[in-house]
Amino acid sequence: MTGGLHDLTGKVAVVTGGSRGLGREIVRAFAQHGADVVIASRKLEACEELAREIEGAHGVAALPLACNVSEWGQCDALADAAYERFGRVDVLVNNAGMSPVYPSVDAVTEALWDKVVGVNLKGPFRLAANIGSRMAAAEGGSIINISSIASIRPNAGVLPYAAAKAGLNALTEGFAKALAPKVRVNAVICGMFRTDIAKAWGDPSAVDEMARSTIALQRVGEPEEIVGAALYLASGASSYCTGATVRLDGGAA
């Protein structure tokens, strides 16, 4: 699907956490709209499988790469590999994230804290600094940070994650200024989506009941419902949008 307001033909996108969940839907949508895609996650086989799928379905090029974004050197290696293969990056989606379960705040270990901050904040900073600076020196581009409702509505069970995502919101506005005027930087604040992570929420019927009472749309989001926001922020449709945080949470209370 090429042409139109959300056309990405000739563009190159890098999507971290791109092999499953929201990242996988973003990869599929970008490919459908003409972009070549670098698919990065810790599981190379899953990236390779998705790469074959979108190449076959849409005729675009896909580069699957293993990357743990919590490690600075792997972020730089990802950026180098993308530029070596395609010579450019037009869209960066910082989607990789994690939020391990812990029984109480005093049980949060230093290792858990460092791991959560590394994936959700440290990695996006380094990738935005590296790739964003190259974008700014070339033809520009768009950076999309996938944040969470926890960043503005934290609860006791996700405090390291909430703190990291709040930091990501701050980076969004800061990088919008640092990389202006050629690079736009925005964030999507996601609410509850029915991805693999939802399995840790407990009984699906109880989750649905909670959604009916706490979310204006009275339901959990489906993964493909990230697509509209991602395409808007990646494409020329959002040409005057930068430093923004877009809530995509069904109207969470």
Per-residue pLDDT reduced to its tens digit, 63-89 = 999 999 999 999 999 999 999 999 999
- 161 included as an active-site residue: yes
Q: What is the pLDDT of residue 211?
A: 86
Which H/E stretch holds residue 185? strand 183-190
Mean pLDDT of the chain: 95
- 249, 211 Cβ separation under 8 angstroms: no
97 belongs to a structural domain: yes
**Residue 154: domain span:** 12-248
Per-residue pLDDT reduced to its tens digit, 117-165 = 999 999 999 999 999 999 999 999 999 999 999 999 999 999 999 999 9
Residue 115 C-alpha from the chain's centroid: 17
Q: Compute the half-sphere exposure of residue 27: CA atoms within 13 Å on the CB side of its CA.
A: 34
The sign of the dihedral angle between the CA atoms of 223, 227, 233, 238 is negative
Instruction: Report the alpha-carbon distance of residue 162 to residue 159 in Å, rounded.
Output: 5
CATH number of residue 231's parent domain: 3.40.50.720
1 belongs to a structural domain: no
Catalytic member of 83, 102, 161, 232: 161
Please say if the pLDDT value at position 250 is more than 70: yes
3 belongs to a structural domain: no
Structure tokens at 242: 């930068």
Which residues face 66 on adjacent strands? 41
Which residues face 142 on adjacent strands? 91, 184
179 belongs to a structural domain: yes
Q: What is the pLDDT of residue 204?
A: 76
7 belongs to a structural domain: no
Per-residue pLDDT reduced to its tens digit, 165-201 = 999 999 999 999 999 999 999 999 999 998 876 666 5
Residue 189's nearest CA partner among 246, 244, 142 is 246
- 92, 143 Cβ separation under 8 angstroms: yes
72 belongs to a structural domain: yes
Please say if the pLDDT value at position 49 is more than 80: yes
Which H/E stretch holds residue 234? helix 227-234
6 belongs to a structural domain: no
5 belongs to a structural domain: no
- 186, 144 Cβ separation under 8 angstroms: yes
Domain total of the chain:
1
